[in-house]
Amino acid sequence: MLSLVTTTLIAVFLAQLVKGLSPEFFPCQLQKPLNISPLSGCPTGTIYVSQNLNDKFARFHRIQDAISSLPPSSPATVLVGAGEYHETLNITRQGPLTLLGQLPADVGLTPSSPFYSNPPFPNNLVQVWDNKFVQTGMDDAQSAVILVAPSFNASLIGAGPTGAPLQPLFGTPDFRAYNIDFQNRAANFSISQALVTDISYANASFYGCSFASYQDTWYTGRNASTYVVDSVIYGQTDYLFGFGTAWFEQVVLANRACGGGIVAWKGTNLTDAPGNRYGAYVSNSQIIRSPDANATTVTNQKCFLGRPWNDLATTVYLNTFMDNSIRPEGWTPFDSARPVIMNTTFYAEFNSTGPGGNTTQRIPLEHLLTAQEAKDFTVGGVFLEHPKWIDFGYLF
């Protein structure tokens, strides 16, 4: 678990790197005076959650209780009051759901403000955390802080390069979270997998959030599509992994140490979802050595951009700054049992910059994209549509 001092230092450091607010939800998210309902400016029907047991406006005091109260299919919005919520969120419903973290009341704060880069507001006011890590007999999914999946079986990750059996169902077509920090506080460099997210058989997007763990922080599961913008993801080992399709736009990937690769994707055959472009896509982003990386990491270790969890893995970096924590060869085989990166794996970069962005020593199998080739990799091209479940109005 991070100390308050360490958390504050990290937040201040990263304040210069991320920012953003939602013009649509800003009036709802902004904290109100005590005599005014926090739901002022919110969409009709918004549910308010507060940790304060004496808050007369709160309908619930735990986020999961609010989620569990919702009907299964209709759209819903939940406003979460400032505080640290020790709970696991489990979203199985098939209706759209939006979680809004409260924002600080300040006369100078507007929807076009660079929120994260304006002290004294370096942190989101809402943290959701748990402290589970994978132990003998557990599926990795059972450690996640937030699960968006239609059933328990659908959330399971399974073992090896093929994972859990395909499920014949789909969950919510539109889950969104704004300005919430999700943390797995059990995690440190010495324990096993400790997930923050498990998004499976669903569409989900996150705005101005952070995700903190060490191993396997972020998971986009089977037949899932995820979009993350203006956010920070902390990790050490394979901390972006999955079967589905994930786009990371203007994120900060913060290397706490190096193990495996940053991205360890599992590809999947196209019979599961014909035409889908499975993989991880990191765009207009930054890879840095995390401010809380230990001295050994700072001095000695350099990280791989990725390794293939199976031979159909896809990872693409576009217009991404990479500091000197990145190894010059870029990519590595998964382990001694799979010592070769097969040509069915697709690894690519375009316009990488910074000390780690020098591609002259990258492995021969990698694709160094031309400007024309890079045009094929867009949000619409990857998701095969202009996704209605993405808030393109979010300012960053």
Q: Is the peptide bond before 364 cis (omega within 30 degrees of 0)?
A: no
Beta bridge partners of 233: 211, 253
The pLDDT score that the predictor gives to residue 180 is 95
Look at 116 and 223; give whichever has higher pLDDT: 223
Which helix (H) or strand (E) segment holds residue 281: the answer is strand 279-283
pLDDT of 106 higher than 80: no
Question: What's the rounded Cα separation, in Å, for the pair 239 and 262?
Answer: 6
Average pLDDT value for residue range 220-244: 94
pLDDT of 204 higher than 60: yes
DSSP structure class, residue 103: B
pLDDT of 115 higher than 80: no
The pLDDT score that the predictor gives to residue 108 is 67
Q: Which of 290, 304, 244 is nearest to 268 (CA)?
A: 244
What order of strands is seen across the sheet that includes strand 367-368?
A: 47-49, 76-80, 97-101, 175-178, 203-207, 225-229, 245-249, 279-283, 314-318, 346-350, 367-368
The pLDDT score that the predictor gives to residue 8 is 44
Average pLDDT value for residue range 105-114: 66
User: Which residue reads 């308050």 in tokens?
Assistant: 4
pLDDT of 146 higher than 70: yes
Average pLDDT value for residue range 227-254: 94
pTM beyond 0.85, yes or no? yes
pLDDT-based confidence at residue 272 (cuts at 50, 70, 90): low
Longest dimension (CA), the chain: 64
CB atoms within 10 A of CB 299: 8
The pLDDT score that the predictor gives to residue 6 is 47
Query: Can you read off the two tokens belonging to residue 67?
Result: 């989620």
The pLDDT score that the predictor gives to residue 293 is 83
Q: Where are the domains of the chain?
A: 4-22+85-96+128-383
- Whether 201 and 223 have beta carbons less than 8 Å apart is answered as yes
The pLDDT score that the predictor gives to residue 214 is 93
Question: What's the rounded Cα separation, in Å, for the pair 36 and 120?
Answer: 24
Question: What's the rounded Cα separation, in Å, for the pair 350 and 362?
Answer: 13
Question: What's the rounded Cα separation, in Å, for the pair 208 and 137?
Answer: 35
Average pLDDT value for residue range 164-179: 94
Look at 308 and 8; give whichever has higher pLDDT: 308
Question: What's the rounded Cα separation, in Å, for the pair 118 and 111?
Answer: 13
- CATH number of the structural domain 4-22+85-96+128-383: 2.160.20.10
pLDDT, tens digit (0-9, with 9 covering 90-100), for 315-340: 999 999 999 999 999 999 998 888 99
CB crowding 211-236: b at 16 or more within 10 Å, else e? bbbbbbbbbbbbbbbbbbbbbbbbbb
Question: What's the rounded Cα separation, in Å, for the pair 309 and 328?
Answer: 21
